[in-house]
Amino acid sequence: MRDVVLAAHATPDRKYHTLQHLQQCLSVVETVSHLPDRPAEVEMARWFHDAIYEFKGANNEARSADWAHEELRRADVDPAVAARVRDLAPMTCHASNLHRTDEQLLVDIDLAILGAEPARFAECEQQIREELARVPSYGLRTKRKSVFKPFLDRETIYSTQVLHQKLEARARNNLASALAGQIKEDAADAGLKHGEPCRHPSTP
């Protein structure tokens, strides 16, 4: 089962939702393994969360959750456990009103990349651009801004105290910097479309 999930993350069309991303998420799982009510189920849900990823797949997370359930039942895992993992796996919808600790942790683990070191955060943004290369630049920037701003508007990005304390400040700095960069690129594109000269980035 592990090898099947690893193989799914290693397909050439993936640039961000890769083994690197999975491994980073699992390392966060390990650091908070004392917090979940059902640690093994949180880990299994994280393993399967991005198992299916297709460019135009609106239901990737739900399909990944169903696959998790099928694989766990095939492995004779208790039906109740398999069902709970299926329910947890798509829980990274990034809702801010979750109440169960395991749900909050799974979302926070998925969002941990926002609080990465700035260089790694920038690398992730580049990987996302490559993974979504078929999306026009302006459309992609619009989409990314629609992701960044709601997080910045939240009272807190992370629901769990341990990850809030560890990652919140850096996540906000990363998001604010990325949002400013997107706005700057929009302005540069708008200037070019209207025939304005392209200024050097250091020009005020």
pLDDT, one tens digit per residue, over 3-37 is 999 999 999 999 999 999 999 999 999 999 999 99
**Residue 202: inside a domain:** no
Positive or negative torsion for Cα 20, 23, 25, 28: negative
Residue 58 forms part of a structural domain = yes
CB 42 within 8 A of CB 27: no
**Cβ atoms of residues 85 and 68 within 8 Å:** yes
Asked whether residue 71 is assigned to any structural domain, the reply reads yes
Domain assignment present for residue 183? The answer is: yes
The stretch 76-91 carries a mean pLDDT of 92
In a domain, residue 203? The reply is no
HSE of 161, CA atoms in CB hemisphere, 13 A: 1
What's the domain count of the chain?
Answer: 1
118 CB-side CA count, 13 A: 8
Contact 55, 76 (CB under 8 A): no
Q: Do 179 and 141 touch, CB atoms closer than 8 A?
A: no
Listed in sequence order, the residues at least 6 apart from 112 whose beta carbon sits closer than 8 Å to its beta carbon are: 24, 25, 28, 163, 167
Read off the pLDDT band of 121 (50, 70, 90).
very high
Q: Residue 157 is which amino acid?
A: I
At 138, the amino acid letter reads: Y
pLDDT at 106 over 90: yes
pLDDT tens, residue by residue, 125-168: 999 999 999 999 999 999 999 999 999 999 999 999 999 999 99
For residue 83, give the CATH number of its domain.
Answer: 1.10.3210
Mean pLDDT of the chain: 89
Query: Whole-prediction pTM value?
Result: 0.86
Lowest mean pLDDT among 11-25, 65-79, 85-99: 85-99
Is pLDDT of 57 > 80? no
Lowest mean pLDDT among 22-31, 34-43, 93-102, 117-126: 93-102
Start-to-end Cα distance in the chain: 55
In a domain, 204, yes or no: no
In a domain, 52, yes or no: yes
* pLDDT (0 to 100) of residue 90: 80
Q: Is residue 6 in a domain?
A: yes
Largest alpha-carbon pair distance within the chain?
Answer: 65
Domain that holds residue 139: 2-193
